[in-house]
Chain A
Amino acid sequence: MGGGMLQSLAMVAALLGMGLAAYLWQVEGSGITGTAGALLALLGAGAAFLGAILAAMMRSWRHLRGVVTGLALLAATLTAVAAWFLMQNVLVIVMAVAALALLLDLAFTPACRGVI
């Protein structure tokens, strides 16, 4: 899988995570309706999404791209952990996919390899 595809996968997953967190925050019966934890998950997924987009735009700045991808990976991982404590399994899976895509991107994309 190429770096572009991994970035796209991370972006889609993080975007899905944002939508899901927003839904869980406002819908009644989610168990986390209106809670700070749901907002934090929304923020975390948003940060991962933003990081993935920025990384995609930084093809010519190798090291900076690696740093931004790493930060997005951290955001996605922490959001997945938060989702686990929020007992939102779908959000855990979505953010884990985002994190995995970002990790693979860091590991196998030449532009990032020097960073890790």
Chain B
Amino acid sequence: MWGLRVLLGAVVGLAGPVQAEQPRWDTFNGTLAATKFADVTTFTPETVGRLQRAWEVRTGDVSDGSGDLPETVWSATPIYANGTLYLGTPFYRILALDPATGQERWSYDTRSTLKALTQPALKNRGVAYWESGADGPCEKRVYLGTMDATLHAVDADTGQPCADFGENGVLNVNQWNETNDVFPFSLLQPPTIVGDVILIGWSGKDWAYSVEPPGNLMAVSARTGELLWDTGFIPADLIPRTGTANIWSSMSADPDLGLVYVPVSSPSPNYWGGNRLEGVPLATSITAVEIATGKIAWSYQHIHHDIWDYDTPSAPTLVDLPRGGAQVPALVQTTKQGLIFVLDRRTGAPLFPVRERPVPASDAEGEVAAQTQPFVPHPPPTVPVDALPEVWWLADALSFGQCSRDRDRFRYDGMFTPPSTQGTLLWPGTAGANNWGGAAVDPRHGILFVNSSRVVQIIRLIPRHAYDGEVRKATNGSIEGGNEAGFHAQEGAPYGIELYEWTNSLGLPCWAPPYGTFAAYDLASGDRLYEVPFGLTQRWGFYGLRSWGSPTLGGPVVTAGGVVFLGASMDDRVRALDAATGRELWSDIVAAPSVSIPAVFSHEGQDYVVFVAGGNSILKPRVADQVVAYRLPRE
């Protein structure tokens, strides 16, 4: 361990200083740079073992889907600003809490519809905060988006609607949903605010249609809600045939360069692209947009002709890196396919070599897969991308060889094997090696921390003429129950899909562990400093071995004291890790998997880490409405 500490110390010296930030947490990723770095020093490897629960709040806004309401999925990052902790809930309410006690100061109910209009659950990832710098009502505001595409602005001190925003504090964002509007612009991710500009992306309905609303980024005035500009990501001539390439995740921004960095998702339909063979250059990309004008400054497509739904899942992290004796403004993008792209954030030029490698061809009707895809050999991928994980002997033996037979039966010719009618092993799975939690970076040292999942799925294309029959067969006659059974229509395409985890008849994964890891990288050299299994799998209450790790959803926060905080695992635990080694230092059990990014901040002279435990059925069927704050005991 000391050896690693020494190595890390040496790396610190080489990387040189970059941006240091204040211990506030007023955006989804802590700051606009999305470093998820908290400049607090009391949380150290020596002290975090003494963390205590300061308070716990149950919001009451939770549903397991068994009643009239859809299931909730709560991944909100708490926002600390204005001496208050602000949260959005999956029932689309804003809560303002006292950071020291958890006592509610006010709440605001958007009265949004509680129907799963787009995503299959009531989802929320929190609120956004803005202040003008002046005093008076609504000079500090909290914004919350809703499932039914409204953006609410309320006074940060009182929770009263700001009448000058939209119509009496409510902006109907769906008024700009005018093309292929088969679903509303669901505002599940809080918008990004830079200066007085609110930048809005939205979520749609995955895997359902071929022709959908074309993805765009909208900028509105933080004070009035007036539309300033609207930049689209689908070429005009393709809009009648395709859609999405939306921004459903968080964004980062560099106000000095005047750029916002947007993670653009894949076009529709997600698993067949015969309707868009010309290519959608801005899809599945990291795109830099001028905040003042909406003009696209540059775009980097990290998957050509995406037919795997490998959306760009998180805000790129902005950090300055040493290159040729100077500090280069860079960004780091973790991806669903497990590759780490490090780009010059002024131009989009890669700072580590990217190789175009030949990839398998498609045998689906009307499909022409890209001949090559970009690979980044260094930094090493967050999961092994050159081969499918081995068949797990235990699952194979317990199913009398089912896993081995599956391996032979389904198609896998390497990464980016196209979906097929025989079934393709999808590695990494659709939730990705890395998802919305993204990575954290200690900007002082140029060290990146990232949690990753190792899940293999099977994606099967079902010819249109057979699709309804297969769904009815799988659901005992109900076409409506198809989604829960893993079927999705991709209406307008020649194929529907079936998507499910590669498990044996007992439900055990057919691929060998680990299932989740945590790793650190030196961004100056690109070297991986360590990689350790993270979290514990859990089924029916029984835990897997520590060496197996757990799939994860949610992201890490790194502190100046050398500690990483991370929930994310399926075992309902929140943890503190030693940033130097990845070793677990502390953990606590919460009510459900904490599939969010924690907030770390200082309030009235004391440091806090706050986790939201909301759960997500991707990990396991347990949801909750719990907010838990931890702090060290006072000396």
Contacts and interface: CB of A to CB of B under 8 A. Distances in A.
The answer on A and B forming one complex is yes
Interface of A: 28-32, 35-38, 40, 82, 85-87
Contact of B589 (A30, A35, A36, A86): A30
A37 B589 contact: no
Contact of A35 (B540, B573, B590, B591): B540
B325 to A, nearest CB: 51
Contacts of B400: none
Nearest to B572: A31
Contacts of A86: 541-543
A82 B572 contact: no
B541 A28 contact: no
10 contacts: A29-B590, A31-B571, A31-B572, A31-B573, A37-B541, A38-B541, A40-B540, A85-B542, A86-B542, A87-B543
Nearest to A32: B541
Contacts of A37: 540-542
B572 A36 contact: no
A35 B538 CA distance: 10
Nearest to A35: B541
Interface string B531-562: 00000000011110000000000000000000
Nearest to B622: A34
Interface of B: 540-543, 571-573, 589-591
B540 A36 contact: yes
B542 A82 contact: yes
A86 B571 CA distance: 11
Contacts of A38: 541
Contacts of B542: 37, 82, 85-86
Contacts of A30: 589
B572 A28 contact: no
List the 7 closest A-B pairs by CB distance, nearest first: A37-B541, A35-B541, A32-B541, A36-B540, A85-B542, A37-B540, A37-B542
A115 to B, nearest CB: 32
Chain B binding surface SS class: loop
Contacts, number: 27
A38 B169 CA distance: 49
A110 B209 CA distance: 75
A37 B542 CA distance: 6
Contacts of B590: 29
B591 A85 contact: no
Contacts of A36: 540-541
A29 B588 CA distance: 9
Contact of B591 (A28, A40, A82): A28
B58 to A, nearest CB: 10
Nearest to A25: B541
B635 to A, nearest CB: 27
B480 to A, nearest CB: 28
Nearest to B540: A36
Nearest to B591: A28
Contacts of B591: 28-29
Nearest to A38: B541
A17 to B, nearest CB: 15
Contacts of B540: 35-37, 40
A38 B540 CA distance: 8
A86 B590 CA distance: 16
A25 to B, nearest CB: 9
A86 B540 CA distance: 9
Contact of A29 (B541, B571, B589): B589
Contacts of B572: 31
A31 B571 CA distance: 7
A35 B572 CA distance: 13
Nearest to B545: A85
A39 to B, nearest CB: 8
A31 B570 CA distance: 11
Given A29-B591, A38-B541, 16 more contacts: A28-B591, A29-B589, A29-B590, A30-B589, A31-B541, A31-B572, A31-B573, A31-B589, A35-B541, A36-B541, A37-B541, A37-B542, A82-B542, A85-B542, A86-B542, A86-B543
A28 B541 CA distance: 13
B508 to A, nearest CB: 14
Contacts of A82: 542
A40 B541 CA distance: 10
Nearest to A87: B543
Nearest to B543: A87
Nearest to B539: A37
A87 B541 CA distance: 9
